[in-house]
Each structure stands twice: as structure tokens, then as C-alpha cells.
A and B are shown apart, each in its own frame.
Chain A
């Protein structure tokens, strides 16, 4: 057993399990929970590009989710445009919004940056909640938009069962993870990390920190909008509080923080740990002890930040490495 084999086996195994999971999990509710888990992993990984690598704390990403969701929904409901195209357009709009937000805010200190992103996201939500029509586009304010179950099919991004959604989001997640890996190894990635940790030193070396951050923001918002479209097509109903609320922005950020921002596996790990907690406590305790899952969430947040501020991925990767080292040790001795 060579070293390379050992290195590859676990990820490949994980990949196979994940691809085959829907064959074993037949219950639509559980598939639904898994889809949402991947969706949040996707969201946090996209967030990670700005929040992790660039070292700032954006707390308004739900705005991009909302832009994506509303764009593709309005276009498909009113003009019959395929949600896939709507997804791309939504992504472009989100990117524009992201750059507009980023330009003035990246100059600010951490806390102020976070507040500014919150203000943008909330301001946008309030505006969308208040207007029924934006020019020719029907947004329907707080009543939201319902997507009627049309003909199913890939073109319409509409499926009767959960499995297609599962694979689509899995594919998106894999894509964004790959992208993160590529960026982390690229010049952009290094500029971001340098700019995040020691901005003055980086600038002294000629790194255009501001441009790097804006690029990261653009990519992040573009990808986040895709999740909005997916959400709209998956739940078939969107309204400002469900796709643009502060809760979503916070949940994304905190999953990444607990898992470990700035790393590739961190956000996924965070989603894996926290989403089941949230779903399970609602299912089991929802009627007897309302709000319990939020208390658990809060406690977990505090504990993790107290003892492992870099996120849980740090000790977990160490554990993983020491386990694989043990195997390698055996292999080489044998």
C-alpha cells in the first residue's frame, strides 16, 4: 500500500458514498435534509472566499441569495425564461451588487464592515418587502412568489422527486470546493491571505489588496446567487423573510466560523455538524421546547469559539493526519 493510495482512499470512498447515498436513503424527508445540508455547505464555501480567505466578516450574504432567487423566479414566471439562464443573470446582478457593496466597505475595519454588510442586506430586504412591482417586474412584496409545479424536466429546473435536486446541489458543491482549492493555490489566493493577515506588508510588496478582495467578493456573490435560484426551484416559494433574512446570513457565517473559515474543508465540516443539530432539535423538541435548537446553536457557538477559535477543522485535520500517519507507518514497516 503506497502512500498515494492511502492519501486517495478516504476522499474517494467519501465520494462514492455520497454519490450512492440516494440509493440507500429512500425517504424524501431525509433526502430533503441532506439537500439542505449540501446547500448550506455550498453557501458557506462560497462565503468562505470572502469571509475566510479575505479575512473580513461579511454578514449580509443573504442579499445575494435573494437576488438570485428573485431574478430567476421573476424571469421564469413572467417571461418564461429557463431558470438556468435566470440563474446566470441573477449571478451577474449579484456580482454587480457585491462589487458596489465591496468598493466602499473593504476600507473599513472589521466590525464596521460587518455592520455595513448587515445594513445593505437588511435595507435590500426592506425595500423588496415594500414594493410590489419594480418597473415591469412583479415582486409581490411580502406575499412572495409561488412557483407553480410546471412540467418537470432539466430545462425547467423542476423535478417531482428529490434525487435530481440532490445530484445538482452535490455537483454545485463539488464545483465550488474545486474552485476554492484552485484559488487557494493561485496568486489570488495568496494575495487574499496576505491581505487579510498583514495588509500593510502585502501592499508594500506591491499586492493590490483592494482588487484581490473585490475579486473574491465578485466570485463569492456570483456563486451565492446560484444557491438562491436552487432554493427557489427546490422550495417553490420565496418571499423576503425566507430568502433574504438576517438569520440566513448569520447561519452561513457561523457555520463557516465553527467549521473553520479560511480552510477548504472547514465550511463543509461546519455544515455537517450544525445542520443536523438544527433540524433534529426542531423535529424532536419543536413542539415541547420551542427555540431549544437555537439555544443549542448558541452554546455550540460559544464553546467552539472559546476553545477552538480557528474552527473545528483544525483538530479534526490533525486527528485525520495522525490516523493516516499511523497507517502509513504500518505500511512502510511491512
Chain B
């Protein structure tokens, strides 16, 4: 069945982009230990930023990263600093502030509807970008070129983030803060600054994901909603805080969607994804690569 190979490869490609989208979330979720329901909206913002960057400057979509990444980083940094930090301060003793979940949902509603008001409901896409519609033919199989680009972007980003967290001082400081807030601050680490950085990085990664989607995807205000739940599923599947896990989790979802769709209607693959998610939650909540936290 040559088809299964083709579907699996395409699933891996698309899945790596899902993984890229989820990577930002796993950074935020892993460090701050809170559900960030606004992540889909951050992705949406990243896509619009990429869209406008390309339209206004005529840059190659991936070159627009130069604009998108810093903009998104700052956006995330200040989002955390201005809106979420006060709650952390107020709930210092609570291990996982639930109110942050609510605040991020507020952010989600605001971002999505603000962009509806400002940009309008119409679906946009970048018609003449150099990547649109290009296919690579390999042994009778057709592979989508923009998705290939996304695949490599995902791998590179995963590697870069991993290196950052393992090798750099700041990265290790962030990890320390995520493991134990008090101990880290005893070491002189400003925990709030670490959180700001983490959210900034997570948002910047969402921006990268946005850039990889923009060459072949539709951009509209509620596009983030579709990705929101998917990203959470991937994060749980892959394991909190693990870049490789996010990538792998994304690929698994991608393969299920692509291969599964050949055997049943796409509407059922959605249900299967939820089912697998629940199985993981019950049996192995730490995911494939996550560190086991004590419950």
C-alpha cells in the first residue's frame, strides 16, 4: 500500500507544523504550569502579523520571520507582564493558579473578537507567495513544499529551544523557576522576569508556527480556535515541557488525521484524536517524554 506511506509522510509533515504550534504552548504550560487558553489566539495573531508583514513588504514568508519573531516575543512578554503577572503575585501560595486560566480565556475572547472587529470576518490568504501550491514529487508521491518548509522550521525551532533551555544560563534559570519557584528565587533569580521570558519565547514560537502556516492556509479571526484544543492534546501527548514531545505528539496527530481519513470520514478522526487524548490522560498523563510530576 504505497498510499499509506504517502499519507504517513504527509501526516508527519503537517503534524510537525501542529507540533510547532504546540511547542510554544508547552514552553508556557511547562514553565508556568497553567493552561493558556489564549494560545490559539496567539497563533492567530502570529498569522496576521506574518500576513501583513508579507503583504506590506513583499518579503518571502520565511524571511518575514525577522519581523514576526521579535514582534511576537514582545507581545507575549508584555502580555505576561501586564495581565498575568499580577495574578501570580496575588496567588503566590497556590501551586497552580486557576484564575490564570480564566484570565487567559478572557484574553482569548478579546483577541479573537478584536481582530474580528479590526480585520473583518473575511478569509484571507497570500495568493502569490513563492511557496503556494508547490509540490515535490518523490517516487510517485506528492509532497507539499510549504509543509516541508514547515517541517524543517519545526525541527530547527525544536532544536534551538532545547539548546536554549539546556545550555544557556537564562534557559536554565527558567527551568529552575518552573521546578520550584521559591528555591529559584532564593538563588537570586527574578521569577517574574523568568515567566515573562518564557511567555515571550512561547509566543515567538507561535509566531514561527504562524509563518509556516501562512503560505498555504486561510487566515481569519477564529482560526486560532481550531488549533487551541489540538495544541493542548499534543502537549499532553508529548509531555509537558518537552520540545521533542511536542513535535512527536504533533506528528502522531497528523498521521492519525491523514491515514485515518482514508479509512473513515474526517469527522470521525476528530473523535479518535479525543479518544487517544483521554487514554493518555488516564494512563500516562506525563505524556511520552514528560517528567513525572507528583500528583
Contacts and interface: CB of A to CB of B under 8 A. Distances in A.
Question: In the complex, A touching B, CB below 8 Å?
Answer: yes
Interface of A: 57, 104-105, 107-112, 114-116, 118-120, 122-123, 126-127, 129-130, 250, 254, 257, 289-292, 294-295, 297-302, 305-306, 309
Contact of A309 (B33, B87, B232, B267): B87
B99 A111 contact: no
B86 to A, nearest CB: 6
B270 interface: yes
Contacts of A109: 96, 293, 295
A305 B233 CA distance: 26
Contacts of B285: 108, 112
The B interface, classified by DSSP as helix, strand, loop or mixed, is helix
A120 B278 contact: yes
Contact of A118 (B90, B107, B229, B267): B229
A290 B103 contact: no
B278 A299 contact: no
Interface in B99-134: 99, 101-103, 105-110, 112-114, 116-117, 121
B109 A116 contact: no
Contact of B101 (A111, A122, A130, A290): A111
B295 A107 contact: yes
12 contacts: A108-B295, A111-B96, A115-B281, A130-B267, A290-B117, A295-B109, A299-B106, A301-B103, A302-B107, A305-B87, A305-B106, A309-B91
A130 B236 contact: no
Nearest to A142: B267
Contacts of B232: 115, 118
B47 to A, nearest CB: 18
Nearest to A129: B267
Given A107-B295, A291-B113, A298 B105 contact: yes
Nearest to B282: A104
Nearest to A300: B106
B281 A57 contact: no
Contacts, number: 118
B163 interface: no
Interface residues of B, number: 45
A318 B138 CA distance: 71
Interface residues of chain A: helix, strand, loop or mixed (majority): helix
Given A110-B96, A111-B96, A126-B270, A298 B110 contact: yes
Contacts of B107: 298, 302
A15 to B, nearest CB: 31
Q: Which 10 A-B pairs have the closest CB atoms?
A: A298-B109, A301-B106, A291-B113, A123-B274, A298-B110, A298-B106, A302-B106, A305-B99, A294-B113, A126-B271
B99 A309 contact: yes
B58 interface: no
Contacts of B112: 291, 294
Nearest to A104: B282
Contacts of A297: 106, 109
A306 B87 contact: yes
B35 interface: yes
B98 A290 contact: no
Given A119-B281, A294-B110, 16 more contacts: A57-B101, A109-B295, A111-B29, A111-B34, A114-B35, A115-B236, A116-B281, A119-B274, A123-B274, A257-B99, A290-B116, A291-B116, A292-B117, A298-B110, A299-B106, A309-B91
